[in-house]
């Protein structure tokens, strides 16, 4: 599936950037193939515009924020770095420095504005009117949990590949054999899958290697521990990995696999823990998940990002029992496309020219 060719994804909120990244001025991002610029408005709220000035097409992300007097500041309106045309969060040009102050600015002078809001420390963007809410993450506001912003980085793969990998119990003994995978136990445990309108819940108990260096992470000292996992998939590209160790420690990872274009995604990863810094330092938790995350990234970047969701086409990829959650993700995506009158677009597709088709 080529995500940039499926308009329905424009109607979902996507986590695009930690708010801290915007403290020093506008930043560019490519979402679903569309170049956008993010900045903080006068109220300190994130805003997103098409990254293209309507004067001579310069990227607005080359510019900076200005206050109402036109002075540079950390948040406010965004000023183009080429000739200084200045835009508010609605995309309207509100100031042209070359004009006399009382000269009217044409309302035609504007660029596209997108839905943009702050949640869980990130700027979220929907390119068109959103049809679903941002997934609920109750731990963010729960004092029992601490929030650790783990990873924000680009992967050369697709959200579909990252998602199916998230629920794939068969890869631990191989991809993660140097970390938590148990090489001697390649047979995966089964998930109990319960579907809902926006995705599914997936519960299972797995075995995980627990060497001494992981004892503070798990709160367990046995060489092999169990992980009770209550995971969830949220349409279209988000997931929850909720691990409970026998110690009662919860290690909850939220991921948005934000689609950049048809070959890349942005990994946005939050970690929530119900222990304290004294129990296990945040840096140790980042290092622990970093090692595992490098293992996944390396193998996923070797796959074809154009993961097919239409399972009726045989002979391109084969599946086994443990791919069931991945097949369920495909089913939900196919249903979403069908509901919005879209067919899956993929790279191997034979495109019949219109004239020939008629
Ligand atoms: Fe932006 Fe000229 S190109 S002000
Ligand atoms: Co993995």
- The ipTM is 0.98
CB of 177 within 6 A of ligand 1: the answer is no
CB of 58 within 6 A of ligand 1: the answer is yes
Q: Is the peptide bond before 236 cis (omega within 30 degrees of 0)?
A: yes
Q: Which two tokens stand for residue 76?
A: 């406010």
Instruction: Say how many Å lie between the CA of residue 82 and the centre of ligand 2.
Output: 45
What is the structure's pLDDT at 247?
98
Angle ∠(250,284,207) on CA atoms, nearest 5? 45
Among protein residues, the one whose CA lies closest to atom 2 of ligand 1? 83
CB of 93 within 6 A of ligand 1: the answer is no
Distance CA 65, CA 71 (A): 8
Minimal CA–CA distance to 305: which of 163, 182, 194, 181?
A: 163
Instruction: Say how many Å lie between the CA of residue 180 and the centre of ligand 2.
Output: 10
CB of 55 within 6 A of ligand 1: the answer is yes
Cα distances (angstroms) measured from residue 193 to each of 74, 85, 183, 321? 46, 53, 25, 13
Average pLDDT over residues 61-75: 91
Distance CA 343, CA 308 (A): 12
Most confident of the ranges 62-76, 252-266, 303-317: 252-266
Instruction: Say how many Å lie between the CA of residue 22 and the centre of ligand 2.
Output: 30
Please say whether the beta carbons of 162 and 267 come within 8 A: yes
Provide φ and ψ at 235, rounded to 5°: -55, 140
Instruction: Say how many Å lie between the CA of residue 168 and the centre of ligand 2.
Output: 8
pLDDT in tens, 8-18: 999 999 999 99
pLDDT over 70 percentage in the chain: 96
Q: Return residues with CB closer than 5 A to ligand 2 (ion).
A: 296
pLDDT in tens, 1-59: 999 999 999 999 999 999 999 999 999 999 999 999 999 999 999 999 999 999 999 99
Average pLDDT over residues 115-131: 98
* pTM, full prediction: 0.95
Given the DSSP bridges, would you call strands 14-18 and 122-126 parallel, antiparallel or unpaired?
antiparallel
What ligand 1 atom has the least distance to the C-alpha of 80? 1
Average pLDDT over residues 200-225: 97
Average pLDDT taken over every residue of the chain: 95
Among protein residues, the one whose CA lies closest to atom 4 of ligand 1? 83
pLDDT over 90 percentage in the chain: 91
Cβ count within 10 A of residue 205: 12
Q: Is pLDDT at 353 greater than 90 in this prediction?
A: no
Distance CA 100, CA 98 (A): 7
Distance CA 44, CA 284 (A): 32
Q: Is pLDDT at 116 greater than 50 in this prediction?
A: yes
């Amino acid at each position: 599936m080529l995500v940039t060719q499926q308009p329905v994804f424009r109607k979902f909120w996507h986590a695009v950037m930690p708010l801290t990244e915007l403290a020093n001025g506008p930043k560019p991002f490519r979402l679903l193939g569309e170049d956008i610029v993010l900045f903080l408005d006068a109220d300190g709220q994130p805003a997103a515009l098409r990254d293209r000035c309507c004067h001579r097409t310069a990227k607005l992300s080359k510019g900076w924020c200005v206050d109402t007097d036109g002075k540079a500041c950390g948040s406010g309106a965004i000023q183009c770095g080429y000739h200084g045309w200045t835009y508010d969060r609605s995309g309207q040009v509100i100031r042209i420095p070359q004009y006399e102050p009382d000269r009217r600015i044409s309302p035609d002078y504007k660029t596209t504005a997108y839905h943009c809001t702050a949640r869980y420390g990130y700027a979220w963007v929907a390119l068109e009117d959103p049809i679903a809410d941002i997934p609920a993450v109750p731990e963010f506001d729960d004092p029992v949990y601490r929030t650790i912003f783990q990873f924000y980085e680009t992967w050369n793969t697709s959200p579909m590949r990252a998602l199916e990998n998230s629920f794939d119990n068969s890869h631990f003994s191989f991809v993660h054999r140097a970390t938590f995978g148990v090489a001697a136990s390649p047979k995966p445990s089964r998930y109990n899958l319960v579907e809902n309108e926006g995705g599914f819940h997936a519960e299972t108990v797995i075995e995980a290697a627990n060497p001494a260096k992981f004892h503070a992470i798990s709160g367990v000292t046995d060489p092999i521990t169990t992980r009770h996992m209550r995971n969830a998939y949220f349409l279209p590209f988000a997931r929850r990995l909720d691990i409970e160790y026998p110690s009662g420690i919860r290690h909850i990872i939220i991921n948005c696999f934000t689609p950049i274009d048809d070959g890349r995604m942005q990994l946005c990863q939050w970690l929530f823990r119900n222990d304290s810094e004294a129990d296990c330092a945040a840096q140790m938790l980042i290092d622990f998940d970093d090692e595992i995350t490098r293992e996944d990234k390396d193998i996923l970047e070797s796959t074809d990002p154009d993961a097919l969701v239409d399972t009726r086409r045989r002979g391109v990829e084969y599946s086994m029992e443990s791919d069931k959650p991945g097949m369920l993700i495909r089913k939900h995506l196919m249903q979403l496309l069908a509901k919005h009158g879209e067919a899956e677009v993929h790279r191997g597709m034979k495109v019949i020219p219109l004239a020939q088709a008629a």
